Amino acid sequence: MSAPLRVGTRASALATTQSGHVAEAVRTRLGREAVLVEVTTEGDRSQASGTPLASYGGVGVFVSALREALLRGEVDVAVHSLKDIPTYPEPGITLVAVPPREDPRDVVVARDGLTLGELPAGSRVGTGSPRRASQLHALGLGLEVVGIRGNVGTRIGKVASGEVDAVVLARAGLARLGRLDEVTEVLDPIQVLPAPGQGALAVECRSDDTELVAALAALDDPRTRAAVEAERAVLAALEAGCSAPLGALAEVAEGEDGEELWVRAVALSEDGALSVRASTTGPTGDASGVGTRLAREMLADGAADLMDAPVRKLQA
């Protein structure tokens, strides 16, 4: 009998729940036992200390320790929230599967069951995301956006304690934790576009473990992978990390010639006063190309200047 597959995960309730779903899929789809191995990341340490993510390095802070454990042979598989993964490849590691995605939209948890539009002007809305903060400012509701960090329970607890009037979170996390009953509003992407890859999981393993690479491919969902590849191509082409006010969402829809991608993206100034929005469609088989072309359009309209981010010269 083969040894259990060691699935590396962050230690938070959400991370272990997400990794537990992957472990269960390994058991049911691959017929192999799997156990979770908890790993503490730099992002966890900064979150515990309350350090703003952007000032702690931003890209990859929730990922690097898991990847290091993978390369050292301490775990066989690493599971991440896909939105946390840098867009550039990591030597020796393969993204073997992107399982079916949860609903990627953002949600509001507010006092007294209120929506954003029902909150009085001056109400305090908490988020640790520059993307969410900029889009909240852009709504023009007169809300005070305040920076907060912490796990899902900690953030929602700030509403219960009265420290803030509302928080904005990813719906996917609340769904996986069984806390959707606390949501007071689901935000339409027309109002607030989610982060690239939000709601999706990433399953990685060592590239040289060819047998496992082949086996884990059974957990991949092609429609989800195409959508997140397009979103991440926008992110990569704009060279925007998790600290940049950029939202993107790709959806697979039925077109005249079969399935196609519909991709929307927005880049904003920090205060939300200025924005560049764009959308496009294209074939699912060219997901990265569709996202890159959309990013080119946004660059031509000044997206990089809005985000105050350096932009790599795109290859023709």
Cα–Cα distance, 15 to 271 (Å, whole number): 31
DSSP for 109-134, please give it: EEGGG--GGGSPTT-EEEES-HHHHH
Among residues 44, 76, 84, 165, the one annotated as catalytic is 84
Name, in order, each residue with C-beta under 8 angstroms of 210's C-beta and a sequence gap of 6 or more. none
For the question of residue 103 being annotated catalytic, the response is no
Backbone angles phi, psi at 196, to 5 degrees: -55, 125
Determine how many CB atoms are found less than 10 A away from the CB of residue 299. 18
Cα–Cα distance, 196 to 304 (Å, whole number): 17
Cα–Cα distance, 70 to 88 (Å, whole number): 18
* Dihedral (CA of 79, 80, 82, 86) sign: negative
Cα–Cα distances in angstroms (integers) from residue 56 to residues 47, 137, 146, in the given order: 10, 24, 18
The partner residues of 278 in beta bridges, in order of sequence, read 265
Cα–Cα distance, 212 to 197 (Å, whole number): 24
Closest by Cα among 192, 294, 275, 278 to 236: 294
Cα–Cα distance, 241 to 57 (Å, whole number): 10
Q: Which tokens hold the place of 208?
A: 């040289």
Q: What are the catalytic residues? A: 84
